[in-house]
Amino acid sequence: MTIEKTMLGTQCIWGGEQTSLLQGATQVPVVHSVGFAYNDVDEWMQVALGEKPGHIYGRNTNPTVAVFEEKVRLLEGGAAATSASTGMGIISSTLFGLLRPGQRVVSIKDTYGGTSVVFTEFLERFNVNVTLCDTTDHQQIEAEIAKGCELVYLESPTNPTTKVLDIARLTQAAHNVGAIVVVDNTFATPINQRPLQLGADLVLHSATKFLGGHADALGGVVSGRKDLVDQIYHYREINGATLHPMAAYLLLRGMKTLNLRVRQQNENAMAVATFLESHAAIERVFYPGLESHSGHKVASKQMQGYGGMLSFSLKENSFDAIRRFIPRMQFAHAAANLGAVETTIGPPATTSHVECTPEQRAAFGIPEGLIRYSTGIENVEDLLADLDQALAIF
Ligand SMILES: *Cc1c(COP(=O)(O)O)cnc(C)c1O
C-alpha cells in the first residue's frame, strides 16, 4: 500500500520519513549542513538545474525541511509544498511571489492580524489593489469577486471570532473569473478541514500553531498546485525566510501526534464552549460547533471537526474585567500563541490583533472585551473546573 492510500493519522507518522532515514535510524536526521558537496561538476550542475534530486545550499532546500514539506503535502493532498521560517513568511511569500502590479485581491476583514497588515499597508505600495469584505456576507464577497480579481484569500475559521466561510462556494465564484484561491487553514488543520479537496488552489499554515503543537518552533508551509508552489518557492529562496532544519525537526516530531491532539482538542473545545454558553457570567461564546454559531451549518458541511479554538465575552464587558479574570486561570498560559498542547488564553488586543489600533479592531468586529481560548489536551474536567473557579469573581 502506498502512503497516499493510508489515512491521515498514519500519514502524520510515516509521511515523507522513509526516504530520509540514515544507517538504520528510525528518526529523521537534522541536517545542519549549509552546503552540499558533489564529486564531479556535472552531477553538481544537474542538481543545480533541478534535473536530478539533491540539495545545493541551505537557503534553498534542506533534507530535514523537505521531509516536513512532504508530510504536509500528503496531509493536505497537494501536488507540491514549500515552507518558510514563519507563518507570515509563507503568507508574504505567497502574496509577493504570485501577485503583480495592477492586480486585485479579494479577501475578508477577519484575516489574521499580520496578514491584514500585508493587505492594508504593504501590497498597496506595489500597486496591488485589495478589497476586504465583511466576513459574514457571502453575497458581498461573491459580488466583489465577480467584478474581477486574480487572487481570493480566505481564512476559516477566523481568528479570534471563529467566523466560517463556505470555501467550496467562494472557490466556485473565484474560478468563474479565473482567480486562484488561497486558504489559511491554521485553525482547522488538515485533520478537520482540507481546502484543496473543496476546490482551493493553495492551502497554507502557520505551522507554529497546531501542526507543531508544542509552542517551541516557528514555521510556515503552503501546499497545492505545483506551478504556483514553484513561484512561491522561487520568491522565498531569494527573500531568504527559510525554515531552519532544527525547527523543521521539531515541527515533524510534533506532527506525529497531530491526529490525536486535534481530535482531543475538538472534544475539549466543544465541552468548554458548551459549559461557557450556559455560564451566568458569560455574554457570548463563539465556537463553530455550537448550534447558536452563525457558521455552524457550513462548518458541519466542510469540516470533520470544529477545532480547538473558541472565544467568548464576559457579561462585564470591559478590559478591566479581563485584567482581573485572566490571572486567576491556573491551567492556561496567558500567551499570544495558540494550538499547543497547553491551553492558552488572551485578549485579541494583545495577541492576534496587536498590530491593529482599537479603531481597526472595532472595524474588524472584534469587541475589546473578547477573550480567545485555545484548548489544550488536558483532561477536560480540569479545564472546566479551572474556568469555573476563575469566573467565580463575577
Ligand atoms: C499565527 C498565525 C499566522 C502567522 O503565523 P506566524 O507563524 O506567527 O508567523 C497566520 N495565520 C493564522 C491564522 C495564525 O494564527
Catalytic hit among 71, 73, 104, 209: 209
CA of 281 to the centre of ligand 1 (A): 30
3-state helix, strand, coil in the chain (%, to 5): 45, 15, 40
182 lines ligand 1 (CB under 6 A): no
Q: For a pocket test of ligand 1, which of 112, 115, 164, 210 has the largest count of ligand atoms closer than 8 A to its C-beta?
A: 112
Q: What is the mean predicted confidence (pLDDT) over 299-310?
A: 98
User: Among 2-16, 319-333, 352-366, which is the least confidently predicted range?
Assistant: 352-366
Rounded Cα distance between 226 and 175, Å, is 17
Q: Which domains are present in the chain?
A: 3-255 (3.40.640.10), 258-391 (3.90.1150.10)
Rounded Cα distance between 36 and 57, Å, is 6
What pTM did the predictor assign? 0.96
Mean per-residue pLDDT of the chain: 95
Known catalytic membership, residue 386: no
- Would the pLDDT of 246 be above 90? yes
87 lines ligand 1 (CB under 6 A): yes
Half-sphere exposure of 82 (CA within 13 A, CB side): 25
Residue nearest to atom 6 of ligand 1 (CA): 87
Phi, psi of 282 (to 5 degrees): -100, 130
Torsion (CA) 181, 85, 349, 391 in degrees, nearest 10: 100
218 lines ligand 1 (CB under 6 A): yes
Known catalytic membership, residue 315: no
CA of 36 to the centre of ligand 1 (A): 32
Q: What is the mean predicted confidence (pLDDT) over 292-304?
A: 97
Rounded Cα distance between 264 and 378, Å, is 9
86 lines ligand 1 (CB under 6 A): yes
Q: For a pocket test of ligand 1, which of 72, 83, 88, 352 has the largest count of ligand atoms closer than 8 A to its C-beta?
A: 88
Phi, psi of 218 (to 5 degrees): -90, 145
What does the pLDDT read at residue 21? 86
186 lines ligand 1 (CB under 6 A): yes
206 lines ligand 1 (CB under 6 A): yes
* Residue 47 CB coordination number (10 Å): 17
Residue nearest to atom 4 of ligand 1 (CA): 87
Distances (CA, A) of 200 to 184, 193, 194, 205: 11, 12, 9, 14
What does the pLDDT read at residue 352? 67
CA of 156 to the centre of ligand 1 (A): 13
* Residue located via cell numbers 493536505: 76
Please write the tens of the pLDDT for every residue from 165-209. Answer: 999 999 999 999 999 999 999 999 999 999 999 999 999 999 999
Known catalytic membership, residue 372: no
**Percent of the chain whose pLDDT exceeds 90:** 90
The answer to whether 189 and 143 are in contact (CB under 8 A) is no
Known catalytic membership, residue 226: no
CA of 154 to the centre of ligand 1 (A): 14
What does the pLDDT read at residue 362? 74
Q: Which of 69, 266, 271, 296 shows the shortest CA–CA distance to 166?
A: 296
Nearest-atom index, ligand 1, CA of 91: 10
Please write the tens of the pLDDT for every residue from 358-370. Answer: 777 777 667 777 9
CA of 42 to the centre of ligand 1 (A): 42
Residue nearest to atom 11 of ligand 1 (CA): 112
116 lines ligand 1 (CB under 6 A): no
CA of 1 to the centre of ligand 1 (A): 35
Rounded Cα distance between 150 and 170, Å, is 14
339 lines ligand 1 (CB under 6 A): no
- pLDDT band at residue 142, thresholds of 50, 70 and 90? very high
Please write the tens of the pLDDT for every residue from 73-96. Answer: 999 999 999 999 999 999 999 999
- Would the pLDDT of 284 be above 80? yes
CA of 112 to the centre of ligand 1 (A): 7
208 lines ligand 1 (CB under 6 A): yes
